[in-house]
Every structure is written in structure tokens, then in C-alpha cells.
Chains A and B, each alone.
Chain A
């Protein structure tokens, strides 16, 4: 502080002769320089932001086990043929039982568990899913209140078995989940029970457990997620009132719900259809709600054991359509050439990767970004993330048909060995996962981009916004001073207030539109999604008209006298977009990144269309055209349609509104912050840009 003062004094002394102007500090000078040349810099920064995003697959690092305690693969597997035959027997029994009986398979599994020496209990739950409540965003997992009018018509029954660690303190546990549809479950699904049954048979007799093992067979009749979420809710928030569900069915679940300490990690195992590759395939799903990821170490352990010990082919989701896209291929080739050139210049520069790798990496990265941005969990593991438990879903696809007995033995052995190794690693943990990354994007099962790297792309994209806002504000003030002979020069610094009013009004409108679906859902009677979307659309547009009518100066069609200067309006819009994007980047980075890719160019390029048409200069016409295109793409419904097409899901043109509604419904049902972002940041900013485009200047 003192030095700062002295510096100032010195500068003042220096400039004392002649003018009274104080030389600004270097940082201020830099700021002034950037603002003065904002058009150039905004283009440079935005281009750099996009380039940084494209370059990310090149910057991906190999994953490594960060936590010393894990020591994956250091212990020899103890699985024996006896365990495998136990597992096979369970699968056979289930098949036979389902052929001959109508009753509940849960009892059979429960019997198997208790024969192994586990504590078994059954849990009944309601299948009704999440419901939208505007106030429940970010409020954590809700305690599903017990409904009084419970019907016995539909309910699910989970089975859970707990193996107590023989010398453990019983304060921690590891959870294994196998979703199984007890009514319609196929042969492949039963294999997951076989693998876990094999493992359970081993774990029941080992001496090295320090954490209890819980095996949850989730009744996936009503989806994978709901039974797991219901079980977790009851595990964490016990209800002391007897549920009416207890009386339903012949299965008595009155016995106590048993618990086993805090969960260190959870693994969800599913066996999917046949693998299209020669090896057995293991797909890892990690994204939980709002782009939250489990600790990278968990993925690393599974990946390490699967690849180096059990010889699975491990993959993570990718956007398949990108693999064949020609423009990405060209970019990949350019990067490869640049990498080779750099390598010839300096052998230490080894950042070039082959085009094929680049394509794979980009496709995986795009999928990773998309899944995180959507904010919807990619499997039942998402339910665990709500309780800060690291969990992943492993989807195994065997290379043999489900009735092949000889292959099945080997498959059970390898699958159970993989799980055993993972559990032994997690069992070695002393604290919950904390050593490795939580914020990362995957470009392959063994490559990741950490938060420090991928933030750069976003930072570069949004960096131009405050610069342009400042420069526009200065321009706008000058223009106002020139055009009006308003004596209110005292209020020079309040010029932005009119524009801010407009921006605020439209954001308020955005908030109301965001909350509208809640009320539309309350409308009595059954409505199809298309009807609801029409209801929503009409109410929103009428609301918009009301807003324009009641608040003077808001509308692009209002008279010139009330209208604010478009430059100031754009400046405030850009500031609002900047704040919105920055806030969103904290909540869900991937959403903010994709949002910035759309919103930043739109906000930067948009200009009133009338002067451009009047001037008839190619440059301004081109600008107007670009802003028109960007604004068209930027409309949320349009965006949804485009993303559908991009992900190869096909467009159903007629029911677009209905699909959009269903999509949004799923967003809010999963409490995705992306929904809030679309309603409260994207939509208002898009409307404001529209106002600027049609500004009567």
C-alpha cells in the first residue's frame, strides 16, 4: 500500500512540469489499450477460444493412479472355481425359477446371499419418479415424502445383502449394484448377477476386508435409476413411520433395513448385449447430475485392472457421427502436420498425434462435454453422486451368446476378478477418494484433460466480452452526448440505466418462462407433450408482448424517442451474458462452455439490421446476415433440433415441440442446471440480441 502511494507521488512529480495529467499505471494502460482496439482483440480472443477447444485432444494427459493407498493389481486374485460355480448355479437357479414359478425371484437371490453368510433384507419402493419443483434445484437429494394414498398396484422390491468385514470397524462400506428386472430380465442381465454372485461367494470368506460389502440387486422394472435412488434415500434418511407398502404383496419386508457405514465407492454392474468386437467390451459411464464426475482415480483403477489384468476392451461413450466428419478430419490432419513440423524443429516437442487418434479423442471429448452439459446422469451411479459417493457404471458386453456354458465360466471369472481387484483397491483406501481430479473431461478411458487446461478455452472465449462491453459503452456515451442536447450532463454515468431496465425486464421474463412449466403441469387433465409445449409457447409469447407493451423502451418496435442507444444496450447485454456465463461455469462448466460457444459470437456480432440494409455495403450486409444466422441457430428449440441431428437421433419434424417439451421435462426432472441456464441466461440474452438486431436506430 505504501509503495503504491509512493509510486503515485513519483509519477505525479514526474509529470508536474506542464500538464496535471497523472500517468496511469501499466495495468490500466493495458486495459485502455485493449478496450481501444476491442474489435481486433475480440476476434482474436474468440478465435483463440475456439482453437483452444479444438486443440484439447492434443493436450490430453495419460491418466495415472494418484492415490498411493489404492495399489491396484498388487494383490493376487483369490477367486476359485468353486466361487464361479456358485455364481453359475445362481444364474441357472434364477432361470429355472422363472420358468416354473410366477413368484418373486428376489427371495431366491436373498436365499443365495444368506447362504453365503450375508445379512439380507428386502426393500419396497415406489416407482414414481422425480417431479419438477422449482424450489428444489440444488437442494440436494429430496427426501421422498411418503404418500398416504399408496396403491399396491405398482411397487418394486430391492434385495440387499451385507457382508460384514471380519475385522473391520463397520464404519465404511463398498456398494455393488446389479440392476435386474425380475419380470422381464433377459439372459444377459442375469449374467451380471452371476458375476456378482461369484464375487460375493469369494468376499464372504476372505479375511482382508476392512469395509463392509453391500450387494444391492435393484429392481429395474421401473428404470435403473429409481430403485437405486430409493434405496439410497432410505439408507441415508431413515423413516420412522411404517410405510403402507409393507403390507403389499406376499413378501414380508418388515424386517429392519440394515446399514453399513458410509460408502467409500459404488460400482454398478450391467451386462449388455453381445459385444461387436472380438474381445469382451467394458464401457465406463461416469457422468452424474449437473456434470459432476466421480474421482478420476476410480476410473483409473477400473481401467487399469480391466486393460492390464483382465484383457477387456475398455471404452467410454463417443459421438459416433463425429468420427466420419470430414472437417474434423482436416483439422486433425493439420494438427498432425504441425506436430510433425514442430518435432523436426525441436525433437522435444512431441505434441502431434495421429489424425485417427485426434478424431477418436474429439469424438469422446464431445460426448464427455455433451453428457456433462446435459446434466443428466448416464446411469444409476448418478444417484450416488447426490450423496457425495464416487460411483461408476460398468457395462460389460460379452463376446459370446448368453447360453454358451463354457465361455460363461471364463466370463464370470474375469468379470469377478476385475470387481475383486477394484474392491481390494478401494478396500485399501484410508480416506474417501480425494487425491485425483474431480473436474476433468475424458478423451479416452486412459486420457483426460484437467480443469486447468480446459478452462483456458472458456476463459479466452469470454475474455472478449468485458472488453467489447466497455468499448461499446464509451461509444454509446459519445453518441448520446452528440445526438441529444439534453442538459442532464450530470447524470452522465447513469446512461446505462435505461438499457439496464430493459435487460432486467427481459431477464425477469426469462425467469417467469422458466417457472411456467411448473404451472402448466398443474393444469388438470391429461395433455400430450405437444399440447403442453403449445400452451407454454403461447403463454410465453403473450407474456413477452405484455412486457414490451408495459415497459416503454423495451420493445424493438417502440418509437425512437423512448428507445435507448443500441450501443449502450448491447454493452449491458454483453455484461449480463458475461455474468451469466461466468456463474454457470462455476455450476456446470460444460454447459457454460457450450453456451459460450453459441452466445459469445452472437453477442459480439449482432448489430441493428436497418442501417446495414440502408448502407448496402457488403461488409455490413455480411455482418447482418451472420447475425441473422447465429440468432436463428441460437433459438433454444432450433438448437435442440440441430443437436438431435448432430447426435444422429433423427428429426421428427412434426412433433418437434413435443420432443422439446419432453427433453426439457427430463432436464428439470433431473434437476439439471442447464435448464435454468437456458431459461435465465440464454433466452433473455437471445431476446436482447433480437432487440438489438431490430433496433430502430
Chain B
């Protein structure tokens, strides 16, 4: 009996140790703006812009945990009540109808942030406020605010230290809450926040090195504040040219950061991350899983199979538009290909059906058939 249990335990542990090989099944995003006060408008705009981007690229609202430490939209100082912009042209209101903020105002604390990551919630916390990821999840963790050497300020009152973050990530790994985790941080000295990380499967990118500041991109002189940070601005500029089906690689994203434009050096830490960056599409983190099994349905599903085979590892930003045109030019061809690429069994049946349709007088064919059969029966019986 004991032996049996032992075997079962062994099997169990074996089954779980093979967790690393589980396939990527879903995407989550945790977007955090950690700073309060009107003059930190840009941090909220950063976060909301990224929220909009990941939503556009296919992560549904239910899989996005959005934490905003202050409400700039309804601040009395906001010249455009209930609107938030990330550009002085005011073309895009980031605070439209379908923004679901999960943690707002004073709820954005280090404690709540760590609870979200590690999943240790009070019972009363609704599911919509939990990060319900599993071992097949790719998680994007985006944070912005004011930081320093190995810390990130929350609410001007407390701080998240690099080892707190590393500890939380380690717990997540132990609890199989993610397959791959990408941490993107836009603060001053952001690179220092990753110093203590040691869990495998974590990819980290920060806006600046130790001793560097992260600067805002431009000032909106109507609102009277800076509206977006440089790092986030150029990240968004990269993603604005992509759609769900694009295959820009992480490498091309990382290479799109120009230290001269950023006025700081974007830093990425890849030593914990196994796959080659040139082979990982950005949509692995910023989009949602789109792997589907094709059936013949009335809906003309878009096939991305052909383009999925190759990942564009070298896609500098300036060539993006060209690439887009190519992509669009390819679309009609793709549809033609899909006509031909159907399963063999259905194909045979369709062919048969078509041939049958070609016959004009069915009755003569049947009569002839019967005559032939009678003839065959006679021959076979005479032979016997």
C-alpha cells in the first residue's frame, strides 16, 4: 500500500516537474501607475496608453489588472474634465467608456500590488481584481512612477524594493502562476529594480540605467503638465504600427529604443529568459494567444499560419510602414492559398460530389447499372 502511494507521489511530482514544458495558453497584463498628484499626470497617461495598446492587441479586459494611484481625469485642475490625453494634439482620449480600473487611488499600495502578484487575497476580493494566471500564462507587468536605486515609490508614501519584487516573482514561479513574465518599468534608475530577480522565465526591461533619469517626452501647455514619458512614448510609437497579426520580435522592440531620443539608456535583462529574443514575437506579451485549430466554418477565419512560420527579428521602426504594406499586399494571396489547403477527406468527397453533378440522365445510368450487375451475376454463377 505504502509502495503504491510512493509511486503515485513520484508520478505526481514528475507530472508537475514537467510544468516548464507546458504550452503558452493565455496572456495577462498587470499595469501599475504608482504615483499620485496632479503633476504626475504623465504616469497615469503612460499606464492608460499601455492599457489601450494591450487591449488593442488582444488581451481582454478581464485579463488586465489596471492599478491607477490617482484620478487625473476628475482632478479639478484638469482642463478637460473626465479625459486623459497622452499627446498635446488631444486626438485620443485614453479615459473613454471602456476603461476598467481594478485598483484605484489609495488601493494602490505595495501590499495590494504584492497580493495581486502572489495571489494571496482576502476571501472577499472579487475575481475581477485577481491575477488568475496559470502555468501557461504569459504576464506583462508594466510599472511607472518615481523610482530610485532599487526602489519604486508608491503613492509618495511607501516603496517597493527590488528584493520585494524579486521575492514576489519567485513566489509566483513556485506557485506556477506564469510561464513567462515580462517586467517593463519606466522610472528613474529603472534597471536597478531588476537586480535581485532570479526566477527563470523572467524578462525585464527598464527605461534607464543606474544613475540615469527617465524624462518626460513633452508638455501639454493646455493641460499645463507633461503628458507622457519618453520611454513609454517610444514604446507606444512602436506598437502603434503593429496589429494583432504582426510578428515584430521582442528584439526589434528593444532595438527601437534610441538613447538619444530617450535621454536615458533602456536596459533589458535577458539572462533569466531562455528563448532567443529574435524569435519571440512581441504579441507573446503585449497581445493575446491566437493559436486556434482550423475547421471549415461559415466564418472566413484569417489564417496567419504562413506568416507565423517566420518571425521578423530584424524590424527597425523606420521600416515598419514598408513592412505593413507588404503584409497587406500579401493578404489576397493568403486567401487563395486557403482555398486549396483543405483536408484530404473532405476534398475527395467534394470532388465526387462535383462529378456526380455532371451526370445528366440519372435513370439510364441506374438501368444500365442494373443490367451490368445482372450480367456480372450470370457470369460469376456460370463460372461456379
A contacts, CB < 8 Å to B? 68-69, 71, 74-76, 165-169, 206-210, 424, 427-428, 430
Contact = CB atoms under 8 A, between A and B. Distances in A.
3 A-B pairs with least C-beta separation: A75-B224, A210-B76, A76-B221
A169 B76 contact: yes
Contacts of A71: 39, 224-225
B273 interface: no
Given A68-B39, A71-B39, A427 B222 contact: no
Given A165-B76, A169-B76, A210-B76, A430 B222 contact: no
Nearest to A421: B224
A208 B77 CA distance: 4
A572 B79 CA distance: 66
B219 interface: yes
Interface string B70-81: 000011111111
Contacts of B16: none
B224 A208 contact: yes
B302 interface: no
A208 B224 CA distance: 10
A69 B219 contact: no
A694 B303 CA distance: 112
Given A74-B219, A74-B224, A208-B224, A428 B38 contact: yes
Contact of B39 (A76, A169, A206, A428): A428
Number of chain B interface residues as a range: 10 to 19
Contacts of A167: 74, 76, 81
B289 interface: no
Contacts of B39: 68-69, 71, 428
A665 B38 CA distance: 48
Given A69-B38, A430-B37, A430-B38, A75 B222 contact: yes
B221 A74 contact: yes
A98 B31 CA distance: 64
Interface in B210-265: 219, 221-226
A207 B81 contact: yes
Contacts of A165: 76
24 contacts: A68-B39, A69-B37, A69-B39, A71-B39, A74-B219, A74-B224, A74-B226, A75-B222, A75-B224, A76-B221, A165-B76, A167-B74, A169-B76, A207-B79, A207-B80, A207-B81, A208-B78, A209-B76, A210-B76, A424-B224, A427-B77, A428-B38, A428-B224, A430-B37
Nearest to A68: B39
Interface in B31-45: 37-39
Contact of B222 (A68, A76, A209, A428): A76
Interface of B: 37-39, 74-81, 219, 221-226
Given A75-B221, A76-B222, A208 B37 contact: no
B76 A168 contact: yes
Given A71-B224, A74-B224, A428 B77 contact: yes
Contacts of A207: 78-81
B99 to A, nearest CB: 20
Residue with the greatest number of chain A CB neighbours at <10 A, chosen from B37, B77, B78, B226? B77
A144 B133 CA distance: 69
Residue with the greatest number of chain A CB neighbours at <10 A, chosen from B74, B221, B223, B224? B224
Contacts of B78: 207-208
Given A69-B39, A430-B38, A74 B225 contact: yes
A647 to B, nearest CB: 43
B219 A208 contact: no
Contacts of B76: 165-169, 208-210
A422 to B, nearest CB: 13
A556 B288 CA distance: 99
Nearest to A425: B224
Nearest to A209: B76
Nearest to B156: A430
A430 B41 CA distance: 14
A209 to B, nearest CB: 7
Nearest to B38: A428
A643 to B, nearest CB: 46
Nearest to B219: A74
B222 A210 contact: no
A626 to B, nearest CB: 58
Contacts of A210: 75-77
Contacts of A208: 76-79, 224
Given A207-B79, A427-B77, 18 more contacts: A71-B39, A71-B224, A74-B225, A75-B223, A75-B224, A165-B76, A167-B74, A167-B81, A168-B76, A169-B76, A207-B80, A208-B224, A210-B75, A424-B224, A428-B39, A428-B77, A430-B37, A430-B38
B106 to A, nearest CB: 15
Contacts of B77: 208-210, 427-428
A91 to B, nearest CB: 29
A164 to B, nearest CB: 11
Contacts of B81: 167, 207
Contacts of B38: 69, 428, 430
Residue with the greatest number of chain A CB neighbours at <10 A, chosen from B37, B39, B76? B76
Contacts of B223: 75
Residue with the greatest number of chain B CB neighbours at <10 A, chosen from A71, A168, A209, A424? A71
Contacts of A169: 76
Residue with the greatest number of chain B CB neighbours at <10 A, chosen from A69, A75, A167, A169? A75
Contacts of A206: 79
B381 to A, nearest CB: 102
A170 B275 CA distance: 57
A100 B76 CA distance: 44
B165 to A, nearest CB: 25
A71 B219 CA distance: 11
Nearest to A207: B79
A262 to B, nearest CB: 16
A210 B39 CA distance: 13
A430 to B, nearest CB: 6
Contacts of A68: 39
B284 to A, nearest CB: 37
Nearest to B36: A430
Contacts of B226: 74
Nearest to B40: A68
B210 to A, nearest CB: 22
A208 B221 CA distance: 13
Contacts of B224: 71, 74-76, 208, 424, 428
A167 to B, nearest CB: 4
A363 B39 CA distance: 38
Nearest to B74: A167
A430 B76 CA distance: 11
B74 to A, nearest CB: 8
A319 B378 CA distance: 140
A75 B79 CA distance: 11
B188 to A, nearest CB: 13
A168 B78 CA distance: 11
A210 B77 CA distance: 5
Nearest to B39: A69
A168 B80 CA distance: 14
A75 B223 CA distance: 7
A427 B225 CA distance: 13
Contacts of A74: 219, 221, 224-226
Contacts of B225: 71, 74
Nearest to B75: A210
Nearest to B223: A75
B84 to A, nearest CB: 14
A599 B287 CA distance: 78
A69 B37 CA distance: 8
Nearest to A431: B37
A74 B38 CA distance: 13
A572 B10 CA distance: 92
Contacts of A427: 77
B113 to A, nearest CB: 23
A166 B76 CA distance: 8
A379 to B, nearest CB: 29
Nearest to A67: B39
